[in-house]
């Protein structure tokens, strides 16, 4: 039955500019105009195998074998130019004594277009090869963009890491250089405050007290900076030992006792279970607790309450410092753990402090495999919880 698909003369060349027609002896009797331009020696009639090899599928060089592949995709490789590969299919023609090969150049390398001398007008409108080439080019460009961006990001990251390291080293060096003369300032102002060499006029005594308290504040800041820079530059290493938690906490309470008494604060300690022993850097944990207690004292008004407790459960160890102080708004809480942040600029001026303490606490807790959380609301006090993983428990 006829399909009724009959082309006008000349239309086949436009629809299939790379086609071939073969007779029973596999002689090329007709070739598409663009194919003839690419292969100047392809001047019908010429033997098929003098100009082409069937690259896929593997079949005999035989008219019947070719027609037997009428439903297969076929790859023909031109002998010259060797770069030209056609993909298409064999199609029997109505008279039964001839067949056509309807195909197009298979090109995935855009450079090959130039080498073969092909332009968009050489392809039939229905041919998708030009679309494929547009897509390939776009993907190649996108990949080039992505690699360029990745290189830029990598360079920026390296620069940032370098800058951070230089900053930390600078801070560590500067802190060390500043601490040495400060010790002299604090030591001698303390001698003056205690009037060791004899009585001083009242105003001089006040000045000496200012020098001493300012010197101490500066030393605290420098120590915090030194700790933070050591942590950030990876130079802070935990010195882990086995330590009993309750005496450690009790020491902390004792150390802040004078400050708490000055503000008539009630400080209670409840650490369970008795004898709870941990593998920790005792100095670092003490630094965390002292910092939290110092904050609690600083931000709790006279006559207030501070509770420090410790407990264990399946999640590990929890150390909690709770106060009845001024508290902070919830939206400020995440910022409190960023270096140089305090709840409020006004608070910072009123209460002093470096704004580094909580950041250091978080880093030290995390170095122990634990974490820190803060819960607070204005006027409702603040509770800071330090968690340590169960692996830290040696006994208890």
Partner 1 sequence: MYGLINKAVHDLVTSKFGEAKWAEICQKAGVSDPNFITMVKYPDDVTYRLVGAASELLNVPAADILEAFGEHWTVYSATAGFGHLLDFAGDNLVDFLSNLDSMHTRVALTFPELDPPSFRVTDVTADSLRLHYYSKRPGLTPVAMGMVKGLGKRFKTPLKIRLDRGRADGHDHDEFIVTYGEAARA
Task: Retrieve residue 236's tokens.
Answer: 């802070």
Among 61, 110, 160, 217, binds partner 1 (CB under 8 A): 110
- Closer of 104 and 243 to partner 1 (Cβ): 104
Q: Is the peptide bond before 368 cis (omega within 30 degrees of 0)?
A: no
- Report, in Å, the least distance between residue 106 CB and partner 1: 16
155 touching partner 1, by CB under 8 A = no
- Closer of 121 and 201 to partner 1 (Cβ): 121
Spell out a b/e string for 370-395, using b for 16 or more CB atoms within 10 Å of the CB, else e: bebebebeeeebbbbbbbbeeebbee
- Closer of 144 and 301 to partner 1 (Cβ): 144
Collapsing DSSP states into helix, strand and coil, what is residue 372?
A: strand
251 touching partner 1, by CB under 8 A = no
Among 118, 222, 284, 388, binds partner 1 (CB under 8 A): 118
- Residues 388, 305 contacting (CB under 8 angstroms): no
How many Cβ atoms are within 10 Å of 130's Cβ, its own excluded? 19
Pick the piece of the chain touching partner 1 (CB under 8 A) from 17-25, 33-41, 129-137, 309-317.
Answer: 129-137
Q: How far is CA 202 from the centre of its chain?
A: 60
Among 72, 141, 173, 183, binds partner 1 (CB under 8 A): 141
Among 3, 40, 71, 111, binds partner 1 (CB under 8 A): 111
116 touching partner 1, by CB under 8 A = no
Among 32, 130, 353, 370, binds partner 1 (CB under 8 A): 130
Decide the pairing of beta strands 266-271 and 305-313.
parallel
List contacts with partner 1 (CB under 8 A). 110-111, 113-114, 118-121, 125, 130-131, 133-135, 137-138, 140-142, 144-145, 149
């Amino acid at each position: 039955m006829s399909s009724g698909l009959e082309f006008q003369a000349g239309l086949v060349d436009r629809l299939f500019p790379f086609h071939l027609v073969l007779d029973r002896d596999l002689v090329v009797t007709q070739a598409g105009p663009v194919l003839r331009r690419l292969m100047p020696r392809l001047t019908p009639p010429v033997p098929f195998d003098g100009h082409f090899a069937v690259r896929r599928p593997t079949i005999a060089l035989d008219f019947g074998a070719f027609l037997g592949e009428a439903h297969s995709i076929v790859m023909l490789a031109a002998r010259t130019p060797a770069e030209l590969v056609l993909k298409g299919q064999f199609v029997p023609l109505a008279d039964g004594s001839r067949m056509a090969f309807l195909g197009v150049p298979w090109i995935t390398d855009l450079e090959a277009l130039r080498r073969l001398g092909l332009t968009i007008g050489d392809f039939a409108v229905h041919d998708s090869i030009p679309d494929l080439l547009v897509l390939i080019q776009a993907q190649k460009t996108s990949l080039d963009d992505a690699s360029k961006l990745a290189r830029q990001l990598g360079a920026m990251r390296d620069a940032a890491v370098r800058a951070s390291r230089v900053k930390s080293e600078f801070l560590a060096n500067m802190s060390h250089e500043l601490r040495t003369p400060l010790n002299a300032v604090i030591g001698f102002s303390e001698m003056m405050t205690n009037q060791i060499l004899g009585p001083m006029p009242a105003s001089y005594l006040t000045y000496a007290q200012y020098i001493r308290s300012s010197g101490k504040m500066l030393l605290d800041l420098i120590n915090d900076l030194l700790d933070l820079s050591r942590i950030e530059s990876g130079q802070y290493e935990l010195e882990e030992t086995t330590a009993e938690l309750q005496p450690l906490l009790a020491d902390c309470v004792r150390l802040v006792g004078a400050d708490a008494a000055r503000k008539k604060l009630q400080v209670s300690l409840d650490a369970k279970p008795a004898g709870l022993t941990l593998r920790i850097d005792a100095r670092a944990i003490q630094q965390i607790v002292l910092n939290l207690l110092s904050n609690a004292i600083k931000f709790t008004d006279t006559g207030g309450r501070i509770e420090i407790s410790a407990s264990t459960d399946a999640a590990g160890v929890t150390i909690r410092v709770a106060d009845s102080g001024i508290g902070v708004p919830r939206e400020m809480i995440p910022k409190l753990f960023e270096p140089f942040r305090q709840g409020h600029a006004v608070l910072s001026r009123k209460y002093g402090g470096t704004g580094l303490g909580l950041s250091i606490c978080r880093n030290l807790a995390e170095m122990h495999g634990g974490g820190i959380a803060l819960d607070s609301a204005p006027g409702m006090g603040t509770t800071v919880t330090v968690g340590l993983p169960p692996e830290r428990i040696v006994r208890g």
